[in-house]
């Protein structure tokens, strides 16, 4: 039984290994919770959650292996140089979360438990604050892409007036002709309030020259 707690003079005891792995796993779950709680957009991936947990725990294992072992550190560095990551992260904040998970795993693997616990708590508070107060957003207005089809008899002045009265800003993006007197128009707009989208859709629908109206959010989505 004594061997379980102290294998050799040069190895970490099995009890410490298990404790480090368990603590790292718990802290990675906390990071995952913060990621899911503050995630925006359509690019959520369960496999990324799996990766976050695994990267953090593996960081703990790596640091326990190379601890006080310079030769082992260089051997692992050579092994990692053979790995090629081909998946492109669609959000830059995902890179920060990967680094967050890895750093916490490294802290646990080097027995810096206070750093791991305090850092996880404090950084999580920072992330939640940034999410809650929308720090980094240029405007609180809702950005949308408006697209609709219209016949050639469309009154452009009427549309311009309609958009001016229902939005804080609108920018013409594209016009495309489909033949048979059908044109497609695309605008970038910012609504005064989210509920105004219903009013705008109803007003456009009442115009007999307009059909196939689409409103696509451009504020919270990473991809369409």
Are 19 and 96 within one domain? yes
Q: Which of 87, 105, 132 is the last residue of a domain?
A: 132
Are 186 and 98 within one domain? no
Reported confidence tier of residue 160, pLDDT bands at 50, 70, 90: confident
Exposed / middle / buried, residue 108 (Cβ in 10 Å: 0-12, 13-18, 19+): buried
Are 40 and 123 within one domain? yes
Are 106 and 152 within one domain? no
Question: Is residue 224, in this structure, part of any structural domain at all?
Answer: no
Question: Is residue 28, in this structure, part of any structural domain at all?
Answer: yes
pLDDT recorded at residue 197: 76
Average pLDDT over residues 154-176: 81
Average pLDDT, the chain: 79
- Structural domain range at position 18: 2-132
Are 167 and 108 within one domain? no
Question: Is residue 206, in this structure, part of any structural domain at all?
Answer: yes
Are 88 and 116 within one domain? yes
Least confident of 54-63, 130-139, 197-206: 130-139
C-beta separation of 167 from 189 below 8 A: yes
- Residues 223, 144: Cα–Cα separation, whole Å: 13
Higher pLDDT, 172 or 120: 120
Q: What is the DSSP string of 30-68?
A: HHHHHHHHH--SS---HHHHHHHHHHHHHHHHHHHHHTT
Question: Is residue 92, in this structure, part of any structural domain at all?
Answer: yes
Reported confidence tier of residue 187, pLDDT bands at 50, 70, 90: confident
- Check whether 27 has a pLDDT greater than 90: yes
pTM: 0.63
Are 42 and 110 within one domain? yes
Q: How many domains does the chain have?
A: 2
β-strand pairing of 182-191 with 142-151 = antiparallel
Reported confidence tier of residue 221, pLDDT bands at 50, 70, 90: very low
Instruction: Check which CATH number belongs to the domain holding 170 and give it.
Output: 3.30.70.260
112-144 residue pLDDT tens? 999 999 999 999 999 999 988 877 665 555 578
- Check whether 85 has a pLDDT greater than 60: no
Are 115 and 16 within one domain? yes
Question: Is residue 137, in this structure, part of any structural domain at all?
Answer: no
């Amino acid at each position: 039984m004594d061997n379980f707690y102290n294998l050799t003079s040069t190895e970490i005891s099995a009890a410490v290994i298990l404790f480090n792995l368990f603590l790292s796993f718990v802290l990675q779950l906390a990071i995952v919770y913060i990621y899911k709680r503050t995630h925006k957009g359509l690019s959520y991936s369960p496999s990324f959650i799996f990766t976050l947990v695994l990267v953090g725990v593996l960081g703990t294992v790596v640091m326990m292996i190379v601890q006080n072992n310079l030769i082992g550190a260089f051997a692992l560095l050579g092994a990692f140089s053979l790995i090629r990551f081909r998946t492109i992260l669609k959000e830059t904040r995902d890179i920060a979360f990967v680094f967050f998970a890895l750093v916490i795993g490294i802290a646990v693997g080097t027995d810096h438990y206070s750093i791991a616990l305090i850092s996880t708590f404090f950084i999580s508070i920072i992330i939640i604050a940034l999410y809650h107060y929308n720090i980094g957003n240029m405007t609180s207005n809702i950005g949308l892409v408006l697209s609709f089809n219209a016949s050639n008899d469309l009154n452009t002045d009427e549309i311009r007036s309609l958009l001016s009265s229902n939005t804080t800003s609108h920018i013409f993006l594209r016009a495309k002709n489909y033949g048979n007197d059908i044109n497609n128009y695309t605008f970038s707009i910012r609504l005064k309030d989210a509920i105004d989208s219903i009013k705008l859709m109803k007003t456009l629908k009442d115009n007999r020259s307009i059909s196939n109206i689409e409103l696509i959010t451009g504020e919270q989505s990473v991809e369409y």
